[in-house]
Structure 1
C-alpha cells in the first residue's frame, strides 16, 4: 500500500495545486511511482483521460508531472458549476447528476464518499506515494460537517498533512494560526509541517516569522517558497485568471504594432481557458480576455471559448451587445475560432428541448456555420487524434472532447478534420471550416497545443495583416516538461525534503540520492 501525503491550504488559490504538482515531479524524479489525488474538485477546467473519463485539469497536469497516465480515480468527484446555482456532479469521470448547491451539501455525500474511498484504494494499490490535495480551506465551518475533500480524506488515507499559506495576500500569521485553531485536536495532530508560499524578495527577511510560527504552533516550517513568475502550468480554476500570466497581459497597453492581437471573449461560464495557454507563451503575440464588446475591434483574430452553459452565454452575448462586433469582425475578414460551446454558438440554431442547460428551449446562433446543435443527455468525453482538412490539410492534431451537444451538418458545411478516438481506427468528420477558411469551429480542446497547427494559424494572421514574421516558440510538450522540471528544481531548493520523506516514513540520504 502507498505512503500518503496531503497538502491543504489556509484558503483557495494559496498554491496547493502547484505544490502537489511539484511534489509529484520530485518524487517521480527520485524514482518513486507516484500519483495525485483530489477527492473533490470544483472547476470548469477539466480534461479527458485515455479511458474516456473526465477529471479536473489540475489533476491531469499533476499526473503528467508524475509521468503517469491520468485516470478517473485521481479526482473521483468533480463539481462543475452551472447557471441558476446548479452544479453538475462528475463521479469517477462520468456524469452522475445535476443538483442545486443545497442538495449537494446535504443529500449527496454518502454515495460520493464511497466513490472517494474506492478511488483512493484503487490508487493506493498501484502507487508507492499518493500526493493528495485539499480543496479551499479545511476550516470553512459552515461547510465542514459536510465536506469530503480535506481532513476527512486525510483521516481515511492516514496521511501526513502539510498546511500551505499565501504570504502575498497578507495576514499569513493569522491565517496559519486560525486554521490550526479551528481544526479538531485529532485533525491538528496530522499537520506535520507548514509551507509559506509566494514570498517576494529575500526569504531571510522572514526568518523571524519562521521562528515565531514554529514557536507558537509547535509545527516546523518546511520552507518559504518564492513567488514564481510565468510558470506555464495549467491553472486549476477561474481564480487562475488573476495570475500574472493572464492579468498583466490583459491590462497591457497595445504599443507595438507588430504584435498579433488575439481577443478571447470572456464568457460568464467560460470553461477550459487553459486551451489558450500556448498563445500566451508565443513571442510576438498579445492575447487578452475581452470583457467589453468594443475590445474586439483592435484584434486580428477572435476566439469564442468553451462554456459550461452554451445557451445562457449565447443569450448573454446577444443581450450585452456582442453580436454586431462579432459580425463586423467576420465582415472585416478577421480570423475567428470557436471551441466547443463557442463552436456551437457559431451555428444556425441550438436546441435544448429537455432544458438540460437552461429554461430556454431553442435559440438562434450567430449563423456563421450551417449547423444545428442539440443539447442531449449523454456527455461525450474522449481523447481524439486525426488530420486537418481544407487549407490545413495534412496537419496532424490531437486533443480531447468534453461536451453534451450533438452538432448536425447542413448542406453548406465543410468539416475541419478527420479524427478517431484514442486507440480506435474508425475515422469521422469533426468541426467546421468556412468556405473562405476564416472561421474555424471545433470540439477539440487542446487544439492550440498542436505546434504545427498553431504555427500555421499565427503565420496566416501575420500574412493577412502584413505583420513581420516571427519564429515559433517551440514544442509545447517540451515547454510543459521544462516547466515541471523548473518548478521541481525551485521547490527542491526551498523545501526541506528530508523532513517530508521522514513524514512519509521513507529513509533517505539526500546527499547520495533518495535510493
Structure 2
C-alpha cells in the first residue's frame, strides 16, 4: 500500500517551505500518523550525517526530527554543495559523486536523476502513512522546468498535490500566487491544489477579501494564514541567521545567570557551512552571538569562532585580505579564546595541502594550532562520540581534510594550544554538559564573570521549536482539508489559469 503525499512549494526561495513542511510533519505525528519528510534535491552548505554515514541537508534532518524518526539518505537523495559561483559538489544518496557546473547539471545530469528520486520517494511512501515533500525555489522557474526534479517534475511523476506557500511579509503575495499558477502548464496546474499564506501580521479579516478574489481568479482555495512568529527559521538552508532566534532573543534580553554576558563573534567566511554549530551557544542565557566580517568587530568578543567552509583555502585568503587573520593572531598571542570548527580548524593550523578542493597545493595556514592538513579524495562522513573537558560529546564530521596533530593538548579529534581550540566535530556544542564546560573555560580565559545556566537543554529547546511549528499548522490551517490533500490528492476539475487572466 502506498502512503499519502503532499508537495510544499513556494512562490520564492525562503518563502517558508522548510518550516511549513516541518510544521505539517509535527502536526501529523502528533495525530498518530507515521510520517516522513522528503526533498528530492537540496542546494545548501548546511548538511548533516545520518547514522549510516550519509550526508543530507540539515533541513531534512530537522524535518525528520519533527517526524520523530531517524533521518536517512532517502529523504534527500540529491544534495548540491556550492563551491563557487558556477559549480557545486553533487552528493547522491549521501555520497559525493563529483563536481559539476550549473550548466552541466541542468544540461542533462539532473533529468537522469529523476528515476533515482522517484524510487526514493516511492520507498518512503511504501513505509510511511504520509510523506511531506519540500520543493525548491519556485515551481514557476520556467527556464528550468524541462529538467526539474524537485518541484513539478517530482509532483507530476508521483502525482502529488501541491500546496504553494507565499511570504506575505515580503509583499506582493497575491501576484506571486496568481503568477505561479498562471506560468505553469495545464498538466502542472492540475496538481496545484491551493495556497498557504505565511508570516502574516495584523487582522486576518482584512486579508479575506483578497483571498476570495484569488479564489475567483484561480479556482483554488487558501488552506491557511500563518501569523508572523519570531525565531521559527530553524536549520535553514542558507543565510547568516541563528536558528533558534526566538530563544536567543529571550535569553539575551533576560539577565545572565552570572554577572557578565559572553560575546561570541563568528567570522562570516566565504562558502560558510554548518553555521548552525553556533545555535547551541546562542541558546544559552547571557550569550550573544553575531556574525562579523571586519577585524574591529573582534575587539570586544570574548570568543571568536572560525566556522566550517566549503572553500577552506579561499576562506583563508579572505581572512588575510580583510585583516581578520592578523586580528586572530593577536588574540591568540594575548590568550583570548578562538575556536575553529572543521574548515575553521584547518585554517588555524600550520599548513594545508589541497589537491582536491581548491587544487592549490601547499598553502600556509594561520599557524595558531600545531596541525597539518592534507586533503583526501574521499570525504570523511561519521557520527563520532567521545569525551572532552570531562563531559560526553556527540558530533558529526563532514570533511576532505585529514589533520595530523603535532602538539598541544587533545581536544576531541583536534587539539588545544593555549586559548585556541580546534576540532572537525560539527554539533559538539549541542551536548549540554560539554557546552557548559567549554563556556566556563572561555569565560575564565576572557576574564568574564559569566556562569552558564545549569538547566539549558538544547534538545528540549529544539523540541519546543518544532512543537511551535506544529501549533501554527494546527491552529491556523484547515487541517481537515490538508489531510484530504495528503490522503486523496488534488481536488479534481481545478480550472486552467491562462497568463493574463485578471485583465
TM-based fold match above 0.5: yes
Distance 1:468 1:311, change over 3 A: closer
- Tell me if structure 2 keeps the 8 A contact 1:39–1:148: yes
| Cross-structure match for 1:461 | 442
| Cross-structure match for 1:15 | 16
Deviation at 1:91, TM superposition (A): 0.3
The reply on whether 1:433 has 2:416 as its aligned counterpart is yes
| Cross-structure match for 1:199 | 200
- Structure 2 residue matching 1:415: 3-state secondary structure: strand
**Alignment RMSD:** 2.1
Distance 1:242 1:205, change over 3 A: farther
For 1:199-253, what per-residue CA distance to the aligned partner results, in whole angstroms no more than 9, with x for missing partners?
0122222122221212221111111101111236221222x6398939x98xx99
| Cross-structure match for 2:37 | 36
Deviation at 1:109, TM superposition (A): 2.2
| Cross-structure match for 2:334 | 332
| Runs (5+) with no aligned partner, structure 2 | 490-503
Deviation at 1:63, TM superposition (A): 0.3
Distance 1:26 1:475, change over 3 A: same
| Cross-structure match for 1:178 | 179
- TM (norm. structure 2) is 0.92
| Cross-structure match for 1:408 | 404
Equivalences for residues 420-499 of structure 1 within 5 A: 430-434=413-417, 436=418, 438-464=419-445, 465-472=447-454, 474-499=456-481
**Alpha-carbon distance in structure 2 between the residues aligned to 1:313 and 1:88:** 17
| Runs (5+) with no aligned partner, structure 1 | 418-429, 508-515
- Tell me if structure 2 keeps the 8 A contact 1:10–1:164: yes
Equivalences for residues 41-120 of structure 1 within 5 A: 41-83=42-84, 85-120=86-121
Stretch moving more, 53-62 or 216-225:
216-225
**Alpha-carbon distance in structure 1 between the residues aligned to 2:448 and 2:430:** 25
Matching residue within 276, 279, 286 for 1:277: 279
For 1:87-143, what per-residue CA distance to the aligned partner results, in whole angstroms no more than 9, with x for missing partners?
100001000110111111103124322221221122122111010110000111222
Equivalences for residues 130-149 of structure 1 within 5 A: 130-149=131-150
**Alpha-carbon distance in structure 2 between the residues aligned to 1:184 and 1:506:** 22
**Alpha-carbon distance in structure 1 between the residues aligned to 2:28 and 2:139:** 25
- Tell me if structure 2 keeps the 8 A contact 1:38–1:133: yes
- Tell me if structure 1 keeps the 8 A contact 2:242–2:278: no
- Tell me if structure 2 keeps the 8 A contact 1:283–1:472: no
Matching residue within 320, 323, 328 for 1:321: 323
The reply on whether 1:293 has 2:289 as its aligned counterpart is no
- Structure 2 residue matching 1:163: 3-state secondary structure: strand
The reply on whether 1:386 has 2:382 as its aligned counterpart is no
- TM (norm. structure 1) is 0.89
For 1:445-487, what per-residue CA distance to the aligned partner results, in whole angstroms no more than 9, with x for missing partners?
0011111111112223334423243524611111111111121
Matching residue within 488, 491, 500 for 2:482: 500
The reply on whether 1:152 has 2:153 as its aligned counterpart is yes
| Cross-structure match for 1:421 | none
Larger relative contact order (Cα-Cα within 8 Å, sequence gap ≥ 6):
2
For 1:369-411, what per-residue CA distance to the aligned partner results, in whole angstroms no more than 9, with x for missing partners?
22111111101111111111xxx1x21000100011111122x
**Alpha-carbon distance in structure 2 between the residues aligned to 1:373 and 1:80:** 21
Q: Which runs of 4+ in 1 moved over 6 A?
A: none
- Tell me if structure 2 keeps the 8 A contact 1:83–1:358: no
- Tell me if structure 2 keeps the 8 A contact 1:347–1:367: yes
- Tell me if structure 2 keeps the 8 A contact 1:232–1:480: no
Stretch moving more, 480-489 or 463-472:
463-472
The reply on whether 1:375 has 2:375 as its aligned counterpart is yes
| Cross-structure match for 1:213 | 214
Stretch moving more, 76-85 or 459-468:
459-468
- Structure 2 residue matching 1:367: 3-state secondary structure: coil
- Structure 2 residue matching 1:168: 3-state secondary structure: helix
| Cross-structure match for 1:245 | 245
For 1:240-275, what per-residue CA distance to the aligned partner results, in whole angstroms no more than 9, with x for missing partners?
6398939x98xx99x999321111000011000111
- Tell me if structure 1 keeps the 8 A contact 2:231–2:245: yes
- Structure 2 residue matching 1:108: 3-state secondary structure: helix
- Tell me if structure 1 keeps the 8 A contact 2:293–2:322: no
- Structure 1 residue matching 2:368: 3-state secondary structure: coil
Stretch moving more, 112-121 or 51-60:
112-121
Deviation at 1:506, TM superposition (A): 6.7
Distance 1:173 1:110, change over 3 A: closer
**Alpha-carbon distance in structure 2 between the residues aligned to 1:157 and 1:282:** 43
- Tell me if structure 2 keeps the 8 A contact 1:163–1:195: yes
Deviation at 1:347, TM superposition (A): 0.8
Deviation at 1:314, TM superposition (A): 0.6
- Tell me if structure 1 keeps the 8 A contact 2:262–2:448: no
- Tell me if structure 1 keeps the 8 A contact 2:9–2:162: yes
